[in-house]
Amino acid sequence: MPVPHDIPAETKLWDAFAESAFEPDAEPSFCWTQYAGHGPGAELLGGPESALEIGCGTGRALAYLAQQGVKVSGVDLSPRMVQLAGDRWAPLGVRIEQGGVLDWLVADESLYDAVYSIFGAAWFTDPARLFPLVREHLAPGGVFVFSQPPAIPGAYGPQGMYKGGFAGKAMFTYRYSYRPAVWERLLTRAGFGTAKAEVFDAPKAGHIGTLIVTARV
SS3 151: coil
pLDDT recorded at residue 103: 97
Domain assignment of residue 83, yes or no? yes
Query: What value does the mean pLDDT take over residues 23-27?
Result: 73
pLDDT recorded at residue 7: 43
Which residue segment(s) compose the domain that 184 sits in? Answer: 7-22+43-216
Domain assignment of residue 35, yes or no? no
What is the CATH number for 210? 3.40.50.150
pLDDT recorded at residue 6: 47
pLDDT recorded at residue 24: 66
Domain assignment of residue 33, yes or no? no
Domain assignment of residue 29, yes or no? no
Domain count, the chain: 1
How far is the C-alpha of 199 from the C-alpha of 65, rounded, in Å?
A: 24
pTM over 0.85: yes
How far is the C-alpha of 54 from the C-alpha of 186, rounded, in Å?
A: 18
| Stronger pLDDT, 1 or 148, i.e. the higher one | 148
Domain assignment of residue 117, yes or no? yes
Domain assignment of residue 55, yes or no? yes
Task: Dump pLDDT digits (tens) for 97-119.
Answer: 999 999 999 999 999 999 999 99
- The helix-helix angle for 180-189 and 127-136 (nearest 10°) equals 50
Residue 158: which pLDDT band, with cuts at 50, 70 and 90? Answer: very high
Domain assignment of residue 51, yes or no? yes
Query: What value does the mean pLDDT take over residues 177-203?
Result: 98
Domain assignment of residue 106, yes or no? yes
Three-state SS sequence of 181-197:
HHHHHHHHHCCCCEEEE
